[in-house]
Amino acid sequence: MKPTSSTTSSKLGPGEYQPDVAVTRLEDLPKPKIIKEQRNEVQRTCPSCGKLAPRVRVFTRPLHDVGDLASGRPRELHITYSQHHCSTCRTYFSADLTDIAPRGSHYTHRVIALALRVVVEDGLPYRAASWHLWRDHRVFVPFATIQNWVEAGGEKGNGTLGNRLSAVGTRRLLRLSRRRRTV
């Protein structure tokens, strides 16, 4: 029997329109797919003195990543990482996660780079960029967060974001943020 247009989305053909629902509350999002990663070691080299430092604690850091398009669900990395104590320097340090996400960020570099591209290269306004990220990449980023990233990317000394933009992107970004500031 031929399925009617009201049957579910599993067999949508190309060009078939399926409206998406606007997400206004975080708790309404579909449950994320959890991907576990380990940065948990018994001992690590102290970044200051180079001696081996034992693990003293273990933490888990959740990070929003680009979503899983096959299931339409968001994706979250749960990184288990170790904190170490160097008895020589008398300091604590943690496993480096900066290759995955900037310090203090709730989002991976992948998400930030995608958001910047959508704003800087495609010229989408922040709200539209936020909606695009959810609709096409299944990652929910409040538009104010995207705005912070774009503005931070134009600032001097922010290597984390700046490095991830091409030279062309940075020039355009600088023009963009200058224009925005004058409005």
Residues at the site binding Zn ion, with contacts judged by CB under 5 A = 46, 48-49, 86, 88-89
Separation of CA 15 from chain center: 29
Q: Whose Cβ is closer to Zn ion: residue 89's or residue 100's?
A: 89
Q: Whose Cβ is closer to Zn ion: residue 60's or residue 88's?
A: 88
Q: Whose Cβ is closer to Zn ion: residue 39's or residue 84's?
A: 84
- Least spacing, CB of residue 52 vs Zn ion, in Å: 9
Q: Whose Cβ is closer to Zn ion: residue 53's or residue 114's?
A: 53
- Least spacing, CB of residue 46 vs Zn ion, in Å: 3
- Least spacing, CB of residue 51 vs Zn ion, in Å: 5
CA angle, corner 69, sides to 106 and 117, nearest 5? 55
- Least spacing, CB of residue 89 vs Zn ion, in Å: 3
